[in-house]
Amino acid sequence: MLVLYRKYRPKVFSDILGQDVVSETLKNAGRLDRLAHAYLFYGSKGSGKTTTARILAKLANCQKRQTDEAFKKTGEPCNECQACVEIDNGRALDVIEIDAASNRGIDEIRNLKESIRVSPAALSRKVYIIDEAHQLTKDAFNALLKTLEEPPTHAMLILVTTELEKMPATIVSRTQRFHFKRLPLETIIGKLKSIAKLEKINISDSAIELIAASGGGSFRDAESLLDQISSLARTNTDKTQTNTDNFTQDNINKTETKNK
Ligand SMILES: Nc1ncnc2c1ncn2[C@@H]1O[C@H](COP(=O)(O)OP(=O)(O)OP(=O)(O)O)[C@@H](O)[C@H]1O
Ligand SMILES: [Mg+2]
Ligand SMILES: [Zn+2]
């Protein structure tokens, strides 16, 4: 079974909740064909940074946009063409996600610099998403500077971080920056409720509110918690219906600690 936060990951900008400035600006850039070559997405965890990076990768590569002027005006990827589908499935060779937490050093950046020069294999734009970018070493950042300033025209770099203050100013100034806000509880509650409805999870409003609050403003944490609690309830109660009404703050706390 697909975990909830993957299943309900937004596929277009308009599905991203609470980050209107980011979504509107990127959609406009898409409409006008003014996509930048280097972006920095920063802000709180579970607020949509990686999700937005993948949608942007689709926008840069969507084949329907390239042929259909009317569609292009939406500023969204089509999610139907081969490029969009492959990126969604994580199968696109030209969309490269690097976890800087485990690839921190200068060697990894040297590899990146070599590979970024090579034209894309199938898509029109090679997109590098560097997650946890603040974890790169000083030398790695230095090695990245030149590439960031002038990436090949066939490439796009998206740096992603929760800790802007740990990023060197020289790097930050070479990117177009987008701030992801911590999401209001109401927004998270709203999405959890609609997921519960679609998944036929029978859960009370107060339990949903507790789950949202325990997520601490992170959509991913809240959605994972809902996932765990509903599968726990599924094994505990009758198999046909998920009943989570008897979940209390105490149980949620236990689930959370187990998860850490
Ligand atoms: N703004 C949002 N609107 C709707 N769903 C969201 C939003 N942000 C996050 N989510 C949900 O949370 C999941 C995780 O989001 P994502 O990976 O984009 O977070 P992130 O900002 O990259 O977090 P982290 O900093 O921890 O990597 C998504 O799959 C999606 O289901
Ligand atoms: Mg992320
Ligand atoms: Zn497409």
Domain ranges of the chain: 4-180, 185-259
What pLDDT is recorded for position 58?
98
What pLDDT is recorded for position 232?
79
**Superfamily holding 4-180:** P-loop containing nucleotide triphosphate hydrolases (3.40.50.300)
| Structure token digits, residue 172 | 């930050």
Establish whether residue 86 lines the binding site of ligand 1, counting it when its CB lies within 6 angstroms of any ligand atom.
no
What pLDDT is recorded for position 255?
54
Q: Which atom of ligand 1 is nearest to the CA of 131?
A: 27
Q: Which atom of ligand 1 is nearest to the CA of 220?
A: 12
Q: Which ligand is nearest to the CA of 77?
A: 3
Beta bridge partners of 39: 158, 176
Q: Which atom of ligand 1 is nearest to the CA of 18?
A: 1
What pLDDT is recorded for position 230?
85
In the predicted structure, residue 260 carries a pLDDT above the cut 50 = no
Q: What is the mean pLDDT of the chain?
A: 91
| Structure token digits, residue 66 | 């390239």
Q: Which helix (H) or strand (E) holds 235?
A: helix 219-236
What pLDDT is recorded for position 247?
53
SS3 of residue 130 by DSSP: strand
Q: Report the largest interatomic distance among the alpha carbons of the chain, rounded to a whole angstrom.
A: 60
Matching CATH number, 185-259, of 1.10.10.10, 1.10.8.60, 1.10.1060.10, 3.40.225.10: 1.10.8.60
- For ligand 3, the distance from its centroid to the CA atom of residue 58, given in whole angstroms, is 7
What pLDDT is recorded for position 1?
56
Q: How far apart are the first and last CA of the chain?
A: 21
- For ligand 2, the distance from its centroid to the CA atom of residue 55, given in whole angstroms, is 13
The string of pLDDT tens digits covering residues 88-146 is 999 999 999 999 999 999 999 999 999 999 999 999 999 999 999 999 999 999 999 99
Pinpoint the alpha helices (H) of 32-184: 49-61, 63-67, 69-72, 82-88, 106-117, 138-149, 169-172
- Give percent of the chain above pLDDT 90: 83
What pLDDT is recorded for position 250?
54
Contacts of 136 (CB under 8 A, 6+ apart): 100, 104, 109, 130, 144
> What would the mean pLDDT of 8-12 be, rounded to a whole number?
96
| Structure token digits, residue 197 | 């409805």
- For ligand 3, the distance from its centroid to the CA atom of residue 101, given in whole angstroms, is 31
> Which of 242, 223, 259 lies closest to 3 in space, CA to CA?
223
Q: How many CB atoms lie within 10 A of CB 79?
A: 15
The model's pTM is: 0.90
Establish whether residue 175 lines the binding site of ligand 1, counting it when its CB lies within 6 angstroms of any ligand atom.
no
Q: Which atom of ligand 1 is nearest to the CA of 162?
A: 25
Establish whether residue 19 lines the binding site of ligand 1, counting it when its CB lies within 6 angstroms of any ligand atom.
yes
Tell me the backbone φ, ψ of residue 216, rounded to 5 degrees.
55, 40
Establish whether residue 46 lines the binding site of ligand 1, counting it when its CB lies within 6 angstroms of any ligand atom.
yes
